[in-house]
A = this chain, B = another copy of it.
Amino acid sequence: MSTLSPTPRSTLTRKKDRAATDRERLYEVLDGGLICHLGLVLHGSPVVLPTGYGREGDTLYFHGSTGAGNLREAARGIDVCVTVTLLDGLVYARSLNNHSMNYRSAVVHGTARLVTGEEKMHGLRAVTEHLTPGSWDHARAVNAKELASVSVLALDLSEASVKIRSGEPIEEPEDLDSHDIWAGVVPVRTTLGEPVPAPYLPADAPVPAHVLDRKLS
């Protein structure tokens, strides 16, 4: 929230610019991840669990079984922390101390709320379309019994931060000429393999476009 600019007008502009940029980056990280790590406090201790999610505008949606203790707690309106991390590279520097990782991470704090009615179906769609885009229209819809067995939670993206490390290693001046030590980045990527049809599918069943064309951003 600090600014180097002394005038109210430029302050406003700078803040607006930064907010827009940060928000785009936040969306980029959240939309680029496949799973999040959901943290909450249970009986005084932290619990961190991998969870599916989906974003719609400035809301994150999660779902889970109504029997899952962690989501039941979150539904009561307790604080949660949701973190999505995209690992981009292993950073080798001349010194061990400057070894690092290239990554983009988003951390969202807030109070999750249980959603019902129309928004519940909305949230389920967001979660489904995040992980398996196209499935919502292709697969068999959720029936009443299934809908009752699942909890959907929503979390506002109002309190969120993004952290990014990218590019080459940082070196101490004393290490810059140590050419016998390698320095650089080994890129890390998440990729999708060839779809593996379930054994009960007819042998000639075509793989639909929404599965074949699934891309990671």
Contact = CB atoms under 8 A, between A and B. Distances in A.
A18 B210 CA distance: 40
Query: Considering residues A48, A94, A185, which has the most beta carbons from chain B within 10 angstroms of its beta carbon?
Result: A48
Contacts of A211: 92, 182, 184, 186
Contacts of A190: 87, 188-191
Contacts of A184: 195-198, 201, 207, 211
Contacts of A143: 97
A135 interface: yes
A194 to B, nearest CB: 7
A81 interface: yes
Contacts of A154: none
Interface string A135-170: 110111111001001100000000000000000110
A41 interface: yes
A67 interface: no
A9 interface: no
B191 A191 contact: yes
Contact of A50 (B105, B185, B189, B196): B105
Contact of A85 (B35, B191, B197): B35
Nearest to A179: B202
A52 B141 CA distance: 41
A113 interface: no
A132 interface: yes
A175 B200 CA distance: 11
Nearest to A80: B46
A24 to B, nearest CB: 21
B37 A48 contact: yes
A11 interface: no
A115 interface: no
7 contacts: A35-B87, A44-B79, A50-B83, A50-B85, A182-B197, A182-B211, A189-B192
